Structure 1
Amino acid sequence: MVVRYKNNWIPTKTLEEMSGTTYDVLIVGSGPGGGAVLQRLCELWKNQGAKKIGILEMGDKLFHSHSLNIPTQNVNTARDVLLPDNSTVIGERLPQFSGARMIYALGGRSLFWNAATPRPIQSELNKWPIHRQELNVYYGMAEKLLHVTTDFAKGSSMQDRMLRRLHAGGILEAADMPLAFDMTPSRQGEVHSNPWYSSINALAAAQFDRPYDLAVNAYVSRVLTGNGTVSGVEVFSADKKKHTIRAKNVVVSASTLETPRLLLNSGIQGPAIGRYLTGHVSIIAIGTVSRRQFSDRLGNLAILKFETDESPYQIQILGPDQYFSYQQFEDKVLKDQLMVVYASFGRVESRPENRVYIDPSARDEFGVPLQQVQYSLSNSDRQTADKVAQGIRRSAAAMGVTLDESTLTLRPPGSDMHEACTCRMGEDPATSSTNRYGQIHGVQGLYVADNSVLPTLTAAGPVLSNTALAIRLADNIARQ
C-alpha cells in the first residue's frame, strides 16, 4: 500500500479558497523579500484581526529550512547534489546570462544561499533615494531578522592567524565575515533549530504573530490593474485552472528575472522595467596551506575582504576543506594540506542596455511569454574582473596559501545568483521602475520587493539590502 502524506508543516489554502477573499496585501513570491514583507506586516498587524494578508508561491513546499540545517547535508552535498536536484538552470535558454539558476519552491534561493550579509559600501548607499539615517535603521532591522553575527568562526586559531596575516599584508579591510546565522543556544524549551537563515524563518515568525493565507503551486500570470490602481492578480493552479484573487495592494517578489517578466506581460508601462540588469563578475578560486602552521585547535575559516572605493570587489575566504560548515555527526578529518576557498564578487556597471525583455515567440506551459536576457560586460567590468583576480592573488600570498592558478577563471554571467536592479527604485520614471518605497510609478498599490528593486548593486550580495527595503516597504503600506 502506498501512503501519501500531506507534507503539511505549514498551513496552505487552495486558490479556490483564496479567490473568495479580498486581501489588504497580496504577496507574489516567498523568497527573502516576500518573506520579510510578510513577517513585518504580521508583526505590525498582530492585533488587527480584520486585516487580510495572502502570499502566493509558484513552486511547492520543498524543505522546512535552509539546506545546511538538514542533518544529512553539509556544504559539499548541499552544493553538489541537493542544489542541482532542486533547481532549474534557466541559463540554458538565456545565452548571454548562461549561469542563471532558479529555485521554484517555498523559500526560493534562500534555501541555498551562503548567508554572507555585509552591508553595501556607504559611498554607494549615499546615491540611493533614501536618507542614510533611515537606511541605517532598516539595515539594523534586517540584521536583527536575519540574526547577523560576526562570531561564526570566533575562537578559531586558523581564523585569528589568517586575519593577522592579511592585515600584516596591507589588506586592512579583511574582517570576520558577517553571516545570517542564529548562534542562540536552545535552552529552557526555546528551540533554535534553524540557525542558517532562509525565508522559511520569516514565514514562521509571521505565522506565530497572526494568520495569513498561503497557496503553493500558484502560478501568477498577470497583475490586474485599472485606472492606475492595482486590483489583484490572475493565477493558475497546477491543473491549469485560472483564478482571480483580489487585493488592495500587490507586492511582487518573484525575482530579478521573473518580476519584470510578470509586469511586462501584465501591460504595466514603464521605460525602465526590465532594464539595468546587474550581476557580479565572479571568480571562485582554490588554494592550499600546510596544516602544520596552526595549532590543534584549528577551527574554521570565515573571513570577508570587504569592498572599498579603491577595490570594488569583496572576497569571501572559507575553509578549511568542507569544514566552513559541517554536521556534528561527521568525523573531522584534516589532511596535511588544507583547502582554502576564495569566493569573490566584483561590482558591475548598471547599464540600461543590460535588460530582461519578453520573447513572444517562446511561451511556457501556461501560454505565457517567457523572458529573454540581453547582457554583456563593459570594458570597466572586465577591468574589475582583473582586479578581482589580482585581489585573490594578493590575499593568498599574504595568508601563505598556494593558489591554484587554473581556478582563476571568470564564471558565466548569472552564476553568482546575485542579479538585481531590473525594477530599480528612484525619483525619475525614465530611469527607474518604482518610487523610493518600491511602488511602481503610476500604479497605486503595486509594489516590488525583491532584488530587482535595488537602485544599484555593490560588490555585496543583495539579500540584506533586499530584506531592509522589504521591511521598509511593509512599514509604508501599514502607514497607508
Structure 2
Amino acid sequence: MVSAPSNVADVLVIGSGPSGGVVSHTLAARGLRVVCLEQGDWVNPTDYPVNHLEWELLIQKQWAHDPNVRKLPADYPVDVSESDMWPVMYNAVGGSSLFFGAEWPRLLPSDFRVRSLDGVGDDWPITYADLAPCYDEMDAFIGVSGLGGDPAYPEGLDYPLPPHPLGKVGRRAAAGMNALGWHWWPGTNAIPTQRFKELSQCARWGTCEWGCPESSKASSDVAFWPHALRSGATLVTGARVRQILTGKDGRAEGALWIDREGVEHRQPAHSVVICANGIGTPRLLLLSASAQHPDGLANSSGLVGKNLMLHPNCSVTGFYDEDLESWRGPAGQLIHSMEFYDTNPEHDFVRGAKMHALPTPGPLSAIEVHRPLPYDELWGPAIHKVVRSHAGGILWAANSEDLPDDANRVTLSPGLTDGNGIPAPKVQYRISENTRKILKFAVDRMEEIHAASGARETFPVELWVDQPGHLLGTARMGDDPATSVVDSYGRAHDVDNLFIADGSIFVTSGSANPTCTITALALRVARNIADTACNQKVAL
C-alpha cells in the first residue's frame, strides 16, 4: 500500500481574499491542517500609493483597479472584448479587499426571496434568518462600526463599535435626504472607530479604495490572516493554480500550481475550497475539466460561469460653495439609503438600488469630474477654481441590482492567456434594459438629493465601467443539482469534497455591497466542512 504524501492538507483553500481568510482561519482554529494558495504577495501598507503626494497619479497605472491596465506579475488578464464592464480585481494576500471601500451592509430579507416576491430571478435555498447568526459573528470578529436600529433591517440589528462621524459631507447629504423625506442611516463600515484586534483606529484618510496606510480597514490581510496563521494555517504566496486535480472517482485530490519561476507543484488535499471570486472561480472550474468532468469541474448543470452579476454603478458628484472638508474619510460610506432598494409597482423596473454618500478623493479627481465642461471653464486660469472645488464635493453613488441572466457569463478566452500560458477568463456581459432603467432612475434621484442639499453644480455618470468590483453568481447555490452548482453549504453537487465559498455562490445580487454577505457565507461553509471533515478523506 502506497502511503499518502506527507504534505497532504486536510483542506486546500484557493484564494486569500475575505472568503479564503474566513475559511482558513475557521478551519485551522478547529484543528484541521489548512493550506491556502495565493497567486499574489503580501502588500506592505507603507507601499500603498496614498503614502505619496502623487497618489492620484499612481492609481492610474501601477495601482489601477483594472488588472489589464496594472499588469503586475501576480495579475492575469481578462478578455472583456464582449463586455459592457470590466472587473475590478487585485491579486494579493487579502485579494481585492485591499481595494474595497469596506462598506458593510447586509443583504435585506427580500433579497433571499426575489422569485417569490417579484417573479424574477430565483429564491435562495436559505433565508436572511438562516444567515443572521453568521452575519452577527462576522461583525463581532471584525469590529464593524455602525448604528443599530436601521428601519431597513429586521429589529435587533446592532454593531460592536459606534458609527463614524458623519462629518460635514455626511451632514450635508443627510440634510438633503431629510428635506426629501427619504430613508438614510449612518454608514456601516468594516473600519473600526477605535483600535480593534489587528486593526488601527480610523484616521480618516479618505482613500480606502486604494489601500489603507493605517491598517484600519478590515481587508482580509489584516482582519483574518494574522488569526489564521496563529491558528496554524499555511499560506503560500506566488502560487498560480492551474488545475484542481481529481481522481478516477471524480473527487478532488488537490491542485496543481505554478510558482514565479514557472515550476509546477502538486498540493494534495482531502478537500478543496475555492475562494477565487466570481470570475476566477469559474475560470478554475472550467480549466479543471477531466474525463470524469468533461464540461468542467462541478458543471453537470452547465451553469458554471453563467449568471454573472456585476452591480453596475452610477453616481452624481455635486460641488457646494461651503468647504465640506471632502477629503475626510471613511470612503467607506458616510450615510446610506435603502429608500429605493426593493421593487415598487410604480416604477417601470423591478428591484432597485442602494445609494450611499461618500467624500471625494483628491484634487485630480475634481479635474476628472469636471471634464465635461468647455475648455475655458476647466483649463487655464479656471483650473484653480476647479481644483479648489474639491473641498466642497459630495459623491452620491448607487449599486444597481443585477438580475441573473444565463447570457452574462465567464468562459475561457480562445486567444488570451496569462504569463504561464493558461487561458484567461473571457467575460461576456451586457447590461439589461431593466438595469439601465434602474441606473437612470438612481441618477435622477441623486440629482434631486444634491438639489435639496444646495449643490451649485452636479456631474452625473450613468455607468462606471470599472466599478464597483462585485463579482457574483457564477456558481450559484441551490437544492436542485440540475439548476445550481453547489448546495446551501457551498458543497459542489457533483464533487462531495469540493466547496465554493466566495461571491460565485450568490443566487441573486441584491444591491447591497456584498463582502459582508460573502464572509457570512464563508463562515457557514467552513463550519459545515469542519463538522463533516471525517467524511472528506480521499485515498492519496
Question: Which TM-score band applies after superposition, normalised by the shorter structure?
Answer: 0.7 to 0.9
Distance 1:60 1:94, change over 3 A: farther
Partner of 1:232: 254
CA contact (8 A) 2:83 2:429 kept: yes
Question: Paired residue for 2:341, among 308, 312, 320?
Answer: 308
Please state how far the C-alpha of 1:378 moved relative to its aligned partner: 1.7
Report the counterpart of residue 188 of structure 2 in structure 1. 178
More deviation, 382-391/83-92 = 83-92
Kindly indicate whether the alpha-carbon contact (under 8 Å) linking 2:166 and 2:186 is maintained by their aligned counterparts in 1. Answer: no
Using the TM superposition, name which of 161-170 and 25-34 deviates more: 161-170
| Deviation, structure 1 residue 106 | 1.6
**Partner deviation per Cα, 1:268-320 (whole Å, 9 max, x = no partner):** 1331110000112211321111217x89xx99881112252137112221126
Letter in 1 for 2:461: L
Compare 298-307 and 389-398 and name the one that shifted more: 298-307
Q: Which moved more, 1:33-42 or 1:364-373?
A: 364-373
Cα separation, partners in 2 of 1:154 and 1:443, compared to 1, 3 Å: same
Tell me the residue number matched to 2:519. Answer: 467
Deviates more, 1:51-60 or 1:177-186: 177-186
2:25 aligned residue: 39
For residues 361 and 154 of structure 1, do their structure 2 counterparts lie closer, same or farther at Cα, with a shift above 3 Å needed? closer
Bigger mean CA offset, 194-203 vs 298-307: 298-307
Moved more, 189-198 or 463-472: 189-198
**SS of residue paired to 2:132:** helix
Cα distance 1:221–1:190, how it changes in 2: closer, same or farther (>3 A)? closer
Q: In 1, are the aligned partners of 2:450 and 2:458 still within 8 Å (CA)?
A: no
Q: Is residue 18–residue 97 contact of structure 2 (8 Å, CA) maintained in 1?
A: yes
TM-score by length of 1: 0.83
Tell me if 1:447 matches 2:499.
yes
- CA contact under 8 A between 2:246 and 2:254: conserved in structure 1? yes
Q: Distance in 1 between matches of 2:178 and 2:511?
A: 21
1:191-210 aligned within 5 A = 194-201=215-222, 202-208=224-230, 210=231
Aligned to 1:162: 173
SS of residue in 2 equivalent to 1:344:
strand
**Alpha-carbon distance in structure 2 between the residues aligned to 1:443 and 1:72:** 48
Give the 3-state SS of the residue equivalent to 1:232 in structure 2.
strand
Quote how far apart the aligned CAs of 1:63 are: 2.9
Among residues 42, 48, 63, which one is paired with 1:83 in the alignment? Answer: 63
CA-to-aligned-CA distance 1:158-207 (integer Å, 9 cap, x gap): 534532431231212x11111110222489x9976622110012001222
Q: Which moved more, 1:339-348 or 1:90-99?
A: 90-99
How far apart, CA to CA, are the structure 2 residues paired with 1:20 and 1:97? 47
User: Structure 1's 444 and 316: CA in aligned 2 closer, same or farther, altered over 3 A?
Assistant: same
Other structure's SS at 1:149 match: coil
- RMSD value over aligned CA atoms? 3.1
> Secondary structure of the residue that 1:276 maps to in structure 2?
coil
Deviation sequence 1:324-367 (CA, Å, 0-9, x none): xxxxxxxxx98696011122211111111111112344433333
Aligned match of 1:398: 452
1:135 to 111, 131, 139: 131
Supply the distance in 1 between the matched residues of 2:359 and 2:422 (Cα, whole angstroms).
44
SS at match of 1:124: helix
Equivalent residue in structure 1 for 2:286, among 259, 264, 289: 264
1:112 matched residue in structure 2: 99
CA distance in 1, matches of 2:468, 2:199: 35
Moved more, 144-153 or 451-460: 144-153
Q: Alpha-carbon deviation of 1:473?
A: 0.7
Shift of the 428–321 alpha-carbon distance from structure 1 to 2, 3 Å rule, reads same
Residue 149 (structure 2) aligns with: none
Deviation at 1:421, TM superposition (A): 0.5
Using the size of structure 2 for normalisation, the TM-score is 0.74
The 2-side partners of 1:344 and 1:85 are apart by 19
**C-alpha separation in 1, matches of 2:411 and 2:260:** 25
Question: What are the Cα deviations for residues 231-279 of structure 1, in whole angstroms up to 9, with x where unaligned?
Answer: 1111111222222111111111112111101101111133111000011
Question: Is the Cα contact below 8 Å between 2:166 and 2:335 reproduced in 1?
Answer: no
1:342 and 2:363 matched: no
Correspondence for 2:44? 63
Matched residue SS, 2:320: strand
Match of 2:312 in 1: 281
Aligned mates of 1:228, 1:353 — CA distance in 2: 28
Q: Secondary structure at the match of 2:494?
A: coil
Residue 402 and residue 428 in structure 1: after superposition, are their counterparts in 2 closer, same or farther (change >3 A)? farther
Residue identity over aligned pairs, in percent, reads 26
- Whether contact under 8 Å (1:159, 1:299) holds in the other structure is no
Unaligned runs of 5+ in 2: 70-76, 114-122, 147-161, 202-213, 290-296, 345-350, 364-386, 533-540
CA distance in structure 2 between the aligned counterparts of 1:97 and 1:255, rounded to whole angstroms:
19
Distance change in 2, residues 1:465/1:185 (3 Å): closer
Structure 1 residue 62: Cα displacement: 2.3
Equivalent AA in structure 1 for residue 463 of structure 2: L
Between 1:449-458 and 1:28-37, the stretch displaced more is 449-458
Q: CA shift at 1:398, angstroms?
A: 2.3
Which of 443, 461, 470 lines up with 1:389 in the alignment? 443
**Distance of 1:86 and 1:386 partners within structure 2:** 25
* Partner SS for 2:405: coil
Partners of 1:274 and 1:86 lie apart in 2 by: 20
Alpha carbons 1:117, 1:464 under 8 Å: kept: yes
Letter aligned with residue 135 of structure 1: L
What SS does the corresponding residue of 1:348 show, helix, strand or coil? Answer: coil
Give the direction of change, closer, same or farther, for the CA distance of 1:77–1:160 in structure 2 (3 Å limit).
same
- Partners in 1 of 2:196 and 2:403 — Cα distance? 44
Aligned counterpart, 1:435: 487
**2:279 alignment partner AA:** L
Q: How far 1:71 moved relative to its partner? A: 5.0
Q: Does the 8 Å CA contact 1:166/1:398 hold for their aligned counterparts?
A: yes
| Ranges in structure 1 where 5+ consecutive residues have no aligned partner | 1-18, 324-332
Give the aligned length: 440
Compared CA separation, residues 422 and 65, structure 1 to 2 (3 A): farther
- 2:447–2:458 CA contact under 8 A, matched in 1: no
- The correspondence of residues 347-426 of structure 1 with structure 2, limited to 5 A, is 347-405=401-459, 407-412=460-465, 414-426=466-478
